[in-house]
Amino acid sequence: MTGLVVVRPGPLTTVQDLGRRGVAHLGVPRAGALDEPALRAANRLVGNPAGTAGLETTLGGVALRAVGPQLIAVTGAPAAVRLDGRSVAWGAAVTVPDGSVLDLGPATHGVRGYLAVAGGLAVPPVLGSRSADLLSGLGPAPLTAGQLLPVGPRFPGDRADLIPLPAPPAELVLRLHPGPHLDWFAAAARPLLARSRYLVATASNRIALRTEGPALPRSRSGELPSEGMVLGAVQVPPDGRPVIFLADHPTTGGYPVIGVVPTADLPAAAQARPGTPVRFVPLTR
Amino acid sequence: MHLTFRQVGADALLVRAPDGESVAALYAALLARRDELPAITEIVPAARTVLLDGLADSALTRQRLAGWQLPPHPPADGPLIELPTVYDGADLAEVAALWGCSAAEAVRLHSSFEYRVAFCGFSPGFGYLTGLPAPYEVPRRDTPRSAVPAGSVALAGPYTGVYPSSSPGGWQLLGRTSVVLWDTGREPAALLAPGVRVRFVPVADA
């Protein structure tokens, strides 16, 4: 079997594609790559369709040994890439001979790296996706050392040589559509959100980007009856600090939503390290 | 039925209906008449709302929906699932005490009602079932359990639920069923999908 053996799994490395659709009514989160353009780019560099399953690393990288020759590209958070100890290109396709080890080092900026292999990771799909969903445990578990990841047959067609992507943000600017529960907040809440500096909190994960900063005052206490939640929803739990829903977010929730971040702004959120300043820019609708 | 609409971000609509029954009616209509609307990726019912997410055209969707005549109740002929249930839950005595009856009478009562999956949430395949009359609503436990076994039949507020997998939980445990509620290798993966009618059938052992 052709594939990749996990030599060093890194702190949290998961298989991701573009996630699950059409199953939110069963309580199934969408999952999928948090920095979707980065996964798409990595796939393009090795000639895969955009939605092919690859790896998402978290801060610490990953090391893999090729079983059979492989073509691999790494995008997302910039990091040193080594092939059997020699430096090779980041953000471009690299041929990894049978038995060689490709080592993606710790991210120098940003959080999440994306590794695509020509042919894609051929783990069994669950409900139409190979993505690991860390909220509900669907899909493959995070990588462990020694595990073999099967790789599928290569796709015909061309591949890109270079795809420019934005650098991880020094300051995370999130535009904000008005949320559906503005009546749950004090009049001062939205202006406070717009003018305050928040920081990305350490407790952020694939479920949500959490923030530290001024608590947003509510006009009503308690919880609303469970309601469907969208990607990018900015929920405000009782501590008043806005929480931005990412790919593994629960499908329903009971905390009021003060705004919704456009999906175009979420890849940057996926790359913002704890401590990164966050600024919210309200949109009129 | 009066529906209200709220835009949620660029491509989602939250449709609010007056009560749980009308939400169920709206959800049933959305499934039956989906092809009359521009493309929708997700239709997510909840307690008082249905979220329409991934809309090709939210303005047109809203305009069309506003013109729909909807019945106040969902159709009575949804699929019916019977769940053989051993009523030996750790909180059965406490629930019976809250209802002011014996444990045997609590079992008889709980299994006498027909339920409907109003919506899913909490974990994949976890259905929130309505149908328990208001006088029988019970609060959550003060202290959630760190592990509730899979198949547990439980109560909280207006809802009955069955835990599809072992998880922490604060609901009052009435009993258990050995029916597998959630299996991603099966079609359908979720037995208790929104709109499904449910009866609990007391049995001596599952």
Q: What is the pLDDT of residue A59?
A: 97
Chain B hits for A263, Cβ within 8 Å: 9-10
Q: B168 CB near a chain A CB, below 8 Å?
A: no
Answer whether the bond into residue B188 is a cis peptide, omega within 30°: yes
Whether B42 sits inside 8 A of A27 (CB atoms) is no
Residue B14 contacts A, CB cutoff 8 Å? yes
Contacts of residue A21 in chain B, CB cutoff 8 Å? 41-42, 54
Contact call for B48 and A230, based on CB within 8 A:
no
Strands A172-178, A277-282: pairing is: parallel
Q: Which residues of B touch A23 (CB under 8 A)?
A: 189
Reduced to 3 states (helix: H, G, I; strand: E, B; else coil), residue B202 is strand
Contact A177 B8 (CB under 8 A): yes
pTM exceeds 0.90: yes
> What pLDDT is stored for residue A157 in this prediction?
86
What pLDDT is stored for residue A285 in this prediction?
A: 58
B92-99 and B103-110 helices, crossing angle to 10°: 90
Rounded Cα distance between A85 and A69, Å, is 17
**Cα–Cα distance for residue pair A10/A76, rounded to 1 Å:** 16
Minimal CA separation from B95 to chain A, in Å: 23
Q: How far is CA A283 from the centre of its chain?
A: 24
Those residues of chain B that have pLDDT short of 70 are 206
B190 touches chain A (CB under 8 A): yes
B34 touches chain A (CB under 8 A): no
Contact B46 A232 (CB under 8 A): no
Distance set, CA B138 to CA A122, B34, B192 (Å): 47, 36, 22
Interface of A with B (CB under 8 A): 21-28, 126-127, 136, 138, 177, 179-180, 225-230, 232-233, 250-252, 257, 260-263, 285
Give the closest of A25, A227, A260 to B120, CB-based.
Answer: A25
Nearest-Cα residue of chain B relative to residue A252: B121
- Partners of residue A32 in chain B, C-beta under 8 Å: none
Cβ atoms B154, B139 nearer than 8 A: no
pLDDT digits (tens, 9 = 90+) for B116-155: 999 998 899 999 999 999 999 999 998 889 999 999 999 9
**ipTM associated with this complex:** 0.95
Among the residues of chain B, which ranges form H helices? 20-32, 58-66, 92-99, 103-110
What is the percentage of chain B residues whose pLDDT exceeds 70? 100
Q: Looking at beta carbons, which residues of chain B come within 8 Å of A233?
A: 8-9
A87 Cα to chain B: minimum distance (Å): 42
Closest CB to A27: pick one of B7, B48, B126.
B126
B48 and A227 within 8 Å at the Cβ level: the answer is: yes
Strand partners, A210: A243
Give the chain A residue nearest B124 (alpha carbons): A27
From first to last of the 285 residues of chain A, give the pLDDT tens digit: 799 999 999 999 999 999 999 999 999 999 999 999 999 999 999 999 999 999 999 999 999 999 999 999 999 999 999 999 999 999 999 999 999 999 999 999 999 999 999 999 999 999 999 999 999 999 999 999 999 999 999 999 899 998 888 899 999 999 999 999 999 999 999 999 999 999 999 999 999 999 999 999 999 988 899 999 999 999 999 999 999 999 999 999 999 999 999 999 999 999 999 999 999 999 985
